[in-house]
Amino acid sequence: MSDARSSESGFPIKGVYTAADLPADLDSRLGEPGDYPYTRGVYPTMYTSRPWTMRQYAGFGTASESNARYHQLLRAGTMGLSVAFDLPTQMGYDSDDPIAHGEVGKVGVAIDSIEDMRTLFADIPLDKVSTSMTINAPGSVLLLLYQLVAEEAGVPGPALNGTIQNDILKEYIARGTYIFPPKPSLRLVADTFAYCRAEVPKWNTISISGYHMAEAGASPAQEIAFTLANGVEYVRAALAAGLAVDDFAPRLSFFFVARTTLLEEVAKFRAARRIWARLMRDEFGAKNPKSMMLRFHTQTAGVQLTAQQPEVNLVRVAVQGLGAVLGGTQSLHTNSFDEAIALPTEKAARLALRTQQVLAYETDLTATVDPFAGSYVVEAMTDELEAAITALMERVADHGSAVDAIEAGFQKREIEQSAYRIAQEIDAGERVVVGLNRFRIDEEEPYEPLRVDPTIEAAQAERLAKLRADRDGGAVERALAELRAAAEGDANVLRPMKEALRARATVGEVCGTLRAVWGIYRPSDRF
């Protein structure tokens, strides 16, 4: 880096910290574990009573192949499943849509209908596992498919436990898998909150994500500031839809990255909890302590993995996972060492899970809560980050709201500037990346990546043709007409959407119905 003593967020790091760097009101800033402002963690005992949920993000090719990987991960001891969907599914298109050509099953599993979802979760006890689904614009669609499959297996909605990402605002900022404009997208999020409160009460209805912003180049302060600003927008949307804050806020969750800069990452997580607790209590009047708890999932930083000397990624992931645990994460996915090259092999995915198991069962991390509490450097960094995050959130608010700032391109520009700075530092050798710009080797060892069968697209198209031929076409048309009427009015769209999916409407048909009513969003629309 240009200044070897600068943090990722830009504040200076001292060579030595002392008691003079601690705030006079440290005790009130910390609180007790499980108590406001939750700096020390959202639960009194944290990992001393049980470890974090160990998730592994997986999904590729067909639903059958992904189901086999899930069973392998469960046998290896994973405690929660995280589903990756392919790009057509993320964008609400069926596998036989021309726009899906070449992308079916590539970066995740292809799900076109309830039949694919049945295959994906075949013989998996949905009342015993926690399932996280990385799906945003069509998040409600995939949740309903999951619920329908669970009901067929005799598992009622109240017994289901998991999360849909369902965070559309960060898609406009950093990732791009949006469908509808912001206003109807926020309505769909609020409808999902209301539906789940009644039908799937233990489900986390949104995972407000900074991870993808970090992968796009956001600094730790930007990652938290823009994520919490989006969280504020979702809270306001739910309140505007007539929901009471304590009716939905306990089911909000967050999703962050863990980088190799361990101390700053620990401080980042602690600052984020403190800011969110204050916002929910003071700005939104939350009374339920669970409404003030920032609960989050963490994934290690994929952007920091290298294709050069990929085995070094094992070390990076271990350090990143350590930072997430010391920062108090509720669940964790550790990346596989080969993900900078291709989809992870079975062995690499197992090694990633074993990394978490070593942290949980071979170290003393689970013996005490918040080991860094009172640390001169971590407490000082927590305060520095809190100030930087709050200042950035105020700049978002100066635009009027997070949506207004998104439409002005504010967050995207800030992240792009940060990403450009990082790239310059790496190119100049000021930011060391082991194996890439320093400590290189002349010849890389051969590696055989996991490859996706190119015939998947044709097979999915055949499945869709058979589905459409076998189903009751009239029932599908009637169900989609009811969905369209709900979208045109102000009724909750998830109930008719569920009936359409039950009648075997496809993901593309459901999303296409909503497209016809709400339109689609193009980045040029904001200029």
In angstroms and rounded to an integer, the radius of gyration of the C-alpha atoms of the chain is 23
* DSSP codes of every residue in 208-254: EE-HHHHHTT--HHHHHHHHHHHHHHHHHHHHHTT--HHHHGGGEEE
pLDDT at res. 449: 66
pLDDT of residue 527: 33
Backbone angles phi, psi at 460, to 5 degrees: -65, -40
pTM given for the model = 0.92
Contact 221, 392 (CB under 8 A): yes
Contact 61, 341 (CB under 8 A): no
Q: Is 442 exposed, middle or buried (0-12, 13-18, 19+ CB in 10 A)?
A: exposed
The first and second tokens of residue 236, run together, are 């306001």
Q: What is the pLDDT of residue 445?
A: 74
Output the tens digit of pLDDT for each of the chain's 527 residues: 344 578 999 999 999 999 999 999 999 999 999 999 999 999 999 999 999 999 877 777 789 999 998 999 899 888 788 899 999 999 999 999 999 999 999 889 999 999 999 999 999 999 999 999 999 999 999 999 999 999 999 999 999 999 999 999 999 999 899 999 999 999 999 999 999 999 999 999 999 999 999 999 999 999 999 999 999 999 999 999 999 999 999 999 999 999 999 999 999 999 999 999 999 999 999 999 999 999 999 999 999 999 999 999 999 999 999 999 999 999 999 999 998 888 788 899 899 999 999 999 999 999 999 999 999 999 999 999 999 999 999 999 999 999 999 999 999 999 999 999 999 999 999 999 998 999 999 887 777 666 667 789 999 999 999 999 999 999 999 999 999 999 999 999 999 999 999 999 999 999 999 999 999 998 765 53
CATH of span 37-366+385-428: 3.20.20.240
Residues 6+ away with beta carbon under 8 Å from 246: 286, 287, 288, 291
Phi, psi dihedral angles at 296 (to 5 degrees): -145, 150
CB 368 within 8 A of CB 33: no
pLDDT of residue 450: 63
CB 19 within 8 A of CB 376: yes
Q: Using alpha carbons, list the distances in angstroms from residue 57 to 83, 107, 109, 193, 421.
A: 6, 11, 11, 24, 30
Q: Indicate if the alpha-carbon torsion angle 509, 515, 517, 518 is positive or negative.
A: positive
Domain ranges of the chain: 37-366+385-428, 471-518
Separation in Å, CA 207 to CA 18, 45, 111, 228, 471: 37, 23, 21, 11, 34
User: Cβ atoms within 10 A of the Cβ of 97, count?
Assistant: 18
For 61, which DSSP code?
B
Query: For residue 30, what is the enclosing H or E element?
Result: helix 26-30
> What pLDDT, on the 0 to 100 scale, is given for residue 363?
97
pLDDT at 61: 78
Beta bridge partners of 298: 256, 332
* Residue 91 burial (C-beta neighbours within 10 Å; 0-12, 13-18, 19+): buried
Residue pair 390/149 in contact by the 8 Å Cβ criterion: no
Contacts of 311 (CB under 8 A, 6+ apart): 337
